[in-house]
């Protein structure tokens, strides 16, 4: 991270500063703001007024990192503005990060899921409290348990109902239609005691015994600023919360946890829709799922989200067809409305082969992320994928090709819950051990990552952490 310092600005002291305006940041802010505290969210993202549809300028990025995520980057440049330059990562897998008002929630379709009691406990979260917070978050984001399905969805669900002996559950995922965390910022701005500070990348944080000092710089002109708060909640997404803390504590070369899911994509043909006209605009993207009826070390053994095709997937699929691109493209457009993508995910636990550490490189630092599956994990996943293929067939879907996908948008770990303090860990309330005023409010604290979609639980936990901080004022 290069920071050219022109000026230095000092700011006021807040009761609570939250770093990050993604789903975690905004839901940590709600209980504190509603209670009347002086709350600020500092975010590295641009204010939405500066939103642009201009594609990312790849000449500014390291071309070796602009790989699989190219389509996403081009489509949503606002969400990824300067991410590759300012949030440097060295890794064999491709990790999607965001610098935006609203974080990564700005580009997805609000598909949510609830974790079971056992899953919450494995992560290190108090199940009873999170289950209550689920209800509060569901109201805030207007979560709908069932919305009408598209043709594919209806046919698949019907097949599942007709098969009395089907092993795994097929169900509809709850959806918060078009929820964007940036809309929560607008909602919070109605409170006079809430301040939104965009465009500021937090660099370091210091626990000064009586207050916390937060150092940031503006992403456009590198002006450094300092803010103070009685309490700080880091919610910059697990990777960037970890990065800020490793840097602030001078923990270079220190290996800490990193969790992301093993991930496979199976393209399937739904024969029954070949003759039916499907209205693609009316379809619900990724709303149907298959859940394993078995567990693996206490977490659901696999989760499959079924997507209708989209042009992005079409573009990706072309390279797997052993035909000239033009012919492959024509062939695909013929069957495209009958394609369903099964997105297969497995849970993950802390292990030596999966870690991250901050490396110092002169004036800059870069976060190294290592994610390797051992032989046993690879074997289990391969066997499960074969079993899932059989299940897909029984639902009327013909699996065509499976590829493993090394692009990740679901991640956790870095600052894990530990009863016995380590150099970088939190207690059960989310407070960083050895400090009195610094908390982590995102998935950096998780000890495991279930196969299901994580964001509803990220929001519920952030609310819980916000309330834990609120108790300090009472
Ligand atoms: C294409 C796509 C589809 C997805 N689909 C789903 C889905 O269907 N269901 C689901 O549950 N999840 C989905 N996700 C994942 C979901 O977006 C994330 O789990 C969620 O956004 C994580 O929330 P967060 O607040 O922890 O982090 P983020 O959303 O990453 O937000 C982090 C915030 O911190 C800010 N920030 C980062 N570093 C700094 C810094 N140093 N200083 C100041 N600010 C900083 C960023 O600007 C951002 O506002 C999807 C993601 C993508 C990209």
Question: What CATH number did the domain enclosing 309 receive?
Answer: 3.50.50.60
End-to-end CA distance of the chain: 39
Mean pLDDT of the region 447-454: 97
Distance CA 245, CA 358 (A): 10
Query: Is 2 inside any structural domain?
Result: no
**Which pLDDT belongs to residue 331?**
75
State how many domains the chain has: 1
Q: Which domain holds residue 268?
A: 8-473
Distance CA 103, CA 56 (A): 17
pTM given for the model: 0.92
- State how far the alpha carbon of 231 is from the alpha carbons of 360, 379, 403, 468, in Å: 28, 46, 45, 11
For ligand 1, atom 46: residue with the closest CA: 99
Distance CA 98, CA 96 (A): 7
- Please give the distance, rounded to the nearest whole angstrom, from the Cα atom of residue 23 to the centre of ligand 1: 7
Mean pLDDT of the region 131-158: 92
Nearest to 248 by CA among 203, 302, 305, 201: 203
pLDDT, one tens digit per residue, over 19-57 is 999 999 999 999 999 999 999 999 998 765 555 555 455
Query: Is 459 inside any structural domain?
Result: yes
**Which pLDDT belongs to residue 277?**
59
Residue 315 scores a pLDDT above 70: no
- Please give the distance, rounded to the nearest whole angstrom, from the Cα atom of residue 101 to the centre of ligand 1: 10
Pocket test for ligand 1, best of 134, 235, 236, 246 (most atoms within 8 A of CB): 236
Helix, strand, coil percentages in the chain from 3-state DSSP, rounded to 5? 35, 30, 40
Q: Token digits for 164?
A: 């009395």
Instruction: Name every protein residue with a CB atom under 6 angstroms from any ligand 1 atom.
Output: 19-25, 42-45, 96, 98-100, 103-105, 107-108, 111-112, 201-202, 235-237, 240, 244, 409-410, 442-443, 453-455, 458
**Which pLDDT belongs to residue 337?**
77
Mean pLDDT of the region 72-94: 80
**Which pLDDT belongs to residue 50?**
56
- Please give the distance, rounded to the nearest whole angstrom, from the Cα atom of residue 280 to the centre of ligand 1: 27
Mean pLDDT of the region 373-384: 93
Residues near 398 by Cβ (< 8 Å), separated by ≥ 6? 268, 269, 270, 271, 392
Mean pLDDT of the region 370-379: 92
Summary mean pLDDT of the chain: 87
For ligand 1, atom 23: residue with the closest CA: 23
Mean pLDDT of the region 242-255: 97
- Please give the distance, rounded to the nearest whole angstrom, from the Cα atom of residue 192 to the centre of ligand 1: 26
Query: Is 3 inside any structural domain?
Result: no
Query: Is 117 inside any structural domain?
Result: yes
- Please give the distance, rounded to the nearest whole angstrom, from the Cα atom of residue 44 to the centre of ligand 1: 12
Query: Is 187 inside any structural domain?
Result: yes
User: Among 130-134, 197-201, 233-237, 246-250, which stretch is predicted with the lowest mean pLDDT?
Assistant: 197-201
**Which pLDDT belongs to residue 246?**
98
Mean pLDDT of the region 258-269: 91
Mean pLDDT of the region 215-222: 87
Query: Is 377 inside any structural domain?
Result: yes
Query: Is 1 inside any structural domain?
Result: no
Which residues partner with 433 through β-bridges?
none
For ligand 1, atom 48: residue with the closest CA: 103
pLDDT, one tens digit per residue, over 136-149 is 999 999 999 988 88
Residue 191 scores a pLDDT above 90: yes
User: Among 61-75, 99-113, 122-136, 345-359, which stretch is predicted with the lowest mean pLDDT?
Assistant: 61-75
**Which pLDDT belongs to residue 69?**
55
């Amino acid at each position: 991270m290069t920071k050219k310092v022109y000026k230095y600005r000092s700011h006021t002291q807040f009761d609570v500063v939250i770093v990050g305006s993604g789903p975690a940041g905004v839901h940590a802010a709600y209980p504190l703001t509603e209670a009347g505290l002086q709350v600020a969210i500092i975010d590295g993202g641009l204010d939405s007024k500066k939103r642009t549809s201009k594609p990312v300028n790849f000449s500014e990025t390291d071309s070796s990192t602009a790989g699989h995520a190219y389509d996403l980057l081009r489509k949503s440049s606002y969400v990824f503005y300067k991410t590759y330059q300012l949030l440097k990562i060295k890794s064999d897998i491709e990790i999607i990060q965001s610098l935006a008002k609203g974080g990564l929630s700005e580009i997805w379709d609000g598909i949510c899921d609830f974790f079971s009691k056992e899953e919450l406990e494995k992560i290190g979260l108090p199940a009873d409290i999170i289950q209550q917070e689920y209800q509060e978050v569901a109201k805030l984001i207007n979560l709908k348990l069932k919305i009408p399905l598209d043709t594919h969805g209806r046919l698949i669900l019907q097949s599942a109902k007709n098969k009395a002996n089907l092993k795994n559950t097929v169900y509809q995922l709850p959806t918060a239609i078009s929820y964007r965390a940036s809309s929560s910022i607008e909602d919070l701005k109605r409170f006079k005691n809430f301040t939104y500070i965009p465009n500021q990348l937090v660099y370091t944080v210091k626990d000064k015994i009586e207050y916390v000092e937060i150092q940031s710089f503006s992403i456009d002109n590198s002006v450094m600023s300092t803010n103070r708060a009685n309490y700080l909640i880091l919610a910059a997404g697990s990777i960037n919360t970890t990065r800020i803390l490793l840097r602030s504590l001078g923990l270079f070369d220190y290996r800490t946890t990193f969790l992301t899911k093993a991930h496979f994509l199976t393209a399937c043909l739904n024969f029954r829709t070949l003759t039916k006209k499907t209205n693609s605009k009316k379809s619900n993207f990724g709303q149907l799922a298959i859940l394993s009826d078995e567990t693996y070390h206490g977490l659901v053994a696999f989760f499959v989200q079924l997507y209708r095709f989209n042009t992005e997937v079409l573009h990706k699929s072309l390279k797997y067809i052993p035909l000239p691109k033009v012919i492959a493209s024509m062939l695909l457009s013929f069957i495209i409305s009958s394609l369903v993508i099964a997105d297969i995910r497995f849970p993950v636990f802390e292990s030596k082969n999966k870690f991250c550490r901050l490396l110092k490189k002169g004036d800059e630092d870069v976060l190294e992320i290592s994610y390797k599956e051992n032989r046993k994990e690879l074997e289990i996943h391969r066997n499960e994928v074969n079993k899932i293929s059989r299940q897909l067939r029984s639902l009327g879907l013909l699996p065509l090709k499976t590829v493993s996908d090394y692009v990740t948008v679901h991640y956790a770990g870095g600052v894990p819950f530990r009863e016995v303090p380590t150099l970088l860990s939190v207690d059960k309330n989310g407070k960083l051990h050895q400090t009195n005023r610094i908390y982590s409010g995102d998935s950096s604290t998780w000890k495991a990552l279930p196969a299901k979609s994580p964001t509803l639980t990220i929001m519920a936990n952030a609310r819980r952490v916000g309330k834990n901080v609120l108790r300090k004022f009472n």
